[in-house]
Amino acid sequence: MRLVDVHARYARRTPWVLRGVDVELGPGETVVIEGRNGSGKSTLLRVIAGLLPVGRGELSGRPAVVGWLPERLPLGRPFTVRRYLQAMARVQGLTTDEARARIDELAGRLRLTEFLDTSFASVSQGTRRKVGLTQALLRRPGLLVMDEPWEGLDATSQKEVPALVAEVTAAGGFCVVTDHRGRSGDLGPTRHWTLEAGRVSDTCPVSEDRDVRSEP
């Protein structure tokens, strides 16, 4: 996936939030987007996920299936967690049986099972984050975009995040995350895109394991 001279903003005649972003992400790679508050991290996530159009420049190579975890889900959902996830699964093209199996699998891994038949509006913010993560993964994504995926999760569920990311990248997919908790080190080797004044600098740190293997 490649971004070439990408500019983005939320309305015409307003300042560009992203200005000339030039980056590339290869199959199986994970990127952590870093930067100060207001630097445009969430804007870049939305552009990559296809939720905000590119104003200038070009984005190519985005996979057909994108999993999107926003920072917050809307609160006013007049049904249970299970019904919400079933509705999202239908939108994503899963059959009833596929949806049931995938919801049960992910709910078990994220300790969400006991809340499936609870009103969406009554669950805690942490549980909503689990619901958001589940809906992002219902149909196995080629691109997983997550805004602060560890936020609000209990310790057990936080430990599941690297495994979920690894499943996407092991299949040749891409993963892009923001992380103010400093948990991205759990994801293994990652690239880092640092946003400043709407532009991105790209670093690709080499893991210790790779250093050892490269020694003569």
Question: Phi/psi of residue 167, each to 5°?
Answer: -65, -35
Angle (CA) 84-87-90 rounded to 5° is 155
Q: Above 60 in pLDDT, residue 167? A: yes
Q: How far apart are CA 198 and CA 39, in angstroms?
A: 6
Which single residue is written with the structure tokens 């948990």?
183
CATH 3.40.50.300, the chain: domain bounds:
1-65+141-216
- For the segment 185-198, the average pLDDT, to the nearest whole number, is 89
Reported as a single tens digit per residue, the pLDDT across 1-50 is 999 999 999 999 899 999 999 999 999 999 999 988 888 999 999 999 99
Residue found by looking up tokens 């939720």 in the block: 51
pLDDT tens across 108-154, in order? 999 999 999 999 888 998 999 999 999 999 999 999 999 999 988 99
180 against 211, higher pLDDT: 180
Q: Please state the three-class secondary structure of the chain as a single string.
A: CEEEEEEECCCCCCCCCEEEEEEECCCCCEEEEECCCCCCHHHHHHHHHCCCCCCEEEEECCCCCEEEECCCCCCCCCCEHHHHHHHHHHHCCCCHHHHHHHHHHHHHHCCCHHHCCCEHHHCCHHHHHHHHHHHHHCCCCCEEEEECCCCCCCHHHHHHHHHHHHHHHHCCCEEEEECCCCCHHHHCCCEEEEEECCEEEEECCCCHHHHHHHCC
For residues 177-197, average pLDDT: 88
* CA–centroid distance for 99 within its chain: 20
Q: What is the pTM of this model?
A: 0.89
Reported confidence tier of residue 178, pLDDT bands at 50, 70, 90: very high
Domain 1-65+141-216 has CATH 3.40.50.300: yes
Give whole-number Cα distances, 173 to 25, 108, 114, 149, in Å: 10, 23, 31, 17
